[in-house]
Amino acid sequence: MITTGSARNAAERGNVATNSPPAHFIELRDVGYAYADDGKQVLEDVSLYAAQGAFVTLVGSSGIGKSTLLRVIGGMLVPTTGEALLNGMPAAEASLPIGMVFQHDNLMPWRTTYDNVRLPLELRGQNGRAADQRVRDMLSLVGLAGFENHYPAQLSGGMAQRVAIARALVHEPALLLLDEPFGALDALTRERMGQELLRIWRAMPVTVVLVTHSISEAVLLSDEVLVVGSRDGQGLPATITDRFEIPLPRPRHFEMWRTAEFKQCETEIRAAI
């Protein structure tokens, strides 16, 4: 549960936190973060909890600190104040494997699809037949069997992002961080990739934290959506201002976009932002 949030949202959903919840896979307790060079405060009093296997999405205006928060969750940035924990350990010290996918695929252009996906295993010293099978299984899972020898320049944008997702998952991470992974794609490809992500997540359950500017994408994919914003609406520092549990049943599909329940979730989240 989120320990900050609007009174309206808390009252409607009955999720006011009066005591610290039991340990969760992701725990942020009163986290603040300031840039080391100029001391500018980006995050302030951020508290959130997520269970293992949850799909959580961060939404908010551009430049509000969503990507910074994502990196704090993953242990890539150490909070200036408060605690960021993964499975009960400080996130920056946790030995849990983490996968990350960015808006741009960041594939190595001189490596084939197969070799790009194999990279995390190479870095962990995993080679041989088992590693080869793991790469091929992941390429099959993301629908790229038969494209092992293609280079990034030979792939469409959606296919390149599938390679990036396969690379992020090949070492079986405990946490998958997605920073606007479909933001550079056209609308139709983005919709298809969202459905593909759900299919992959069902086949390979992992805790996911997604950053997106698409409210409909957030509703379709998530168990809960967290709104990142400032308390006074004047910009940084940011915190979690609202939390929305998404009541839609799983498995999800695009036809849900037409339902009144889906539209209500979109409307409430958009109003909170």
Q: What is the pLDDT of residue 184?
A: 82
Selection from 87, 62, 60 nearest residue 74 by Cα:
87
Hey, how many other C-beta atoms are within 10 angstroms of the C-beta on 140? Answer: 12
The tokens describing 175, both together, are: 């946490």
User: pLDDT per residue over 251-265, tens digit each?
Assistant: 998 889 999 999 999
Q: What is the pLDDT of residue 214?
A: 93
The residue among 16 and 44 whose pLDDT is bigger is 44
- pLDDT above 70 covers a percentage of the chain that reads 91
Q: What is the pLDDT of residue 220?
A: 95
Please report which confidence band the pLDDT of residue 23 belongs to, taking 50, 70 and 90 as the band edges.
Answer: low
Q: Which domains are assigned to the chain?
A: 1-95+222-273 (3.40.50)
Tell me how long the chain is: 273
Residue 94 has pLDDT above 60, yes or no: yes
User: pLDDT per residue over 54-88, tens digit each?
Assistant: 999 999 999 999 999 999 999 999 999 999 999 99
Do residues 94 and 86 make contact, with C-beta atoms less than 8 angstroms apart?
A: yes
Please report which confidence band the pLDDT of residue 231 belongs to, taking 50, 70 and 90 as the band edges.
Answer: confident
User: pLDDT per residue over 96-137, tens digit each?
Assistant: 899 999 988 899 999 999 999 999 999 988 888 999 999 999
H-assigned helices in the chain: 7-13, 66-73, 113-123, 128-141, 157-169, 187-203, 215-221, 260-272
User: pLDDT per residue over 159-181, tens digit each?
Assistant: 999 999 999 999 999 999 999 99
User: pLDDT per residue over 232-248, tens digit each?
Assistant: 767 779 999 999 999 99
In order of 60, 153, 212, 258, the CA distances from 233 in angstroms are 11, 43, 19, 31
Residue 197 has pLDDT above 70, yes or no: yes
Report how far residue 106's alpha carbon sits from residue 61's, in angstroms, rounded to the nearest whole number.
24
Hey, how many other C-beta atoms are within 10 angstroms of the C-beta on 9? Answer: 20
Hey, how many other C-beta atoms are within 10 angstroms of the C-beta on 194? Answer: 23
Do residues 209 and 46 make contact, with C-beta atoms less than 8 angstroms apart?
A: no
Residue 2 has pLDDT above 70, yes or no: no
Residue 8 has pLDDT above 50, yes or no: no
User: pLDDT per residue over 137-158, tens digit each?
Assistant: 999 999 999 999 999 999 999 9
User: Which residue bears the tokens 């609007």?
Assistant: 6
Global pTM reads: 0.87
Residue 20 has pLDDT above 60, yes or no: no
Residue 21 has pLDDT above 60, yes or no: no
Report how far residue 4's alpha carbon sits from residue 10's, in angstroms, rounded to the nearest whole number.
9
Q: What is the pLDDT of residue 37?
A: 83
Do residues 225 and 57 make contact, with C-beta atoms less than 8 angstroms apart?
A: yes
User: pLDDT per residue over 27-40, tens digit each?
Assistant: 999 999 998 888 88
In a 13 Å sphere around the CA of 202, the CA atoms on its Cβ side amount to 10
In the predicted model, what is the mean pLDDT of the chain?
Answer: 88
Report how far residue 78's alpha carbon sits from residue 91's, in angstroms, rounded to the nearest whole number.
8
Please report which confidence band the pLDDT of residue 205 belongs to, taking 50, 70 and 90 as the band edges.
Answer: confident
Selection from 230, 261, 262, 224 nearest residue 243 by Cα:
224
Report how far residue 53's alpha carbon sits from residue 66's, in angstroms, rounded to the nearest whole number.
21
- 48-86 as b/e, with b when 16 or more CB fall inside 10 Å? bbbeeebbbbbbbbeebbbbbbbbbbbbebebbebebbb
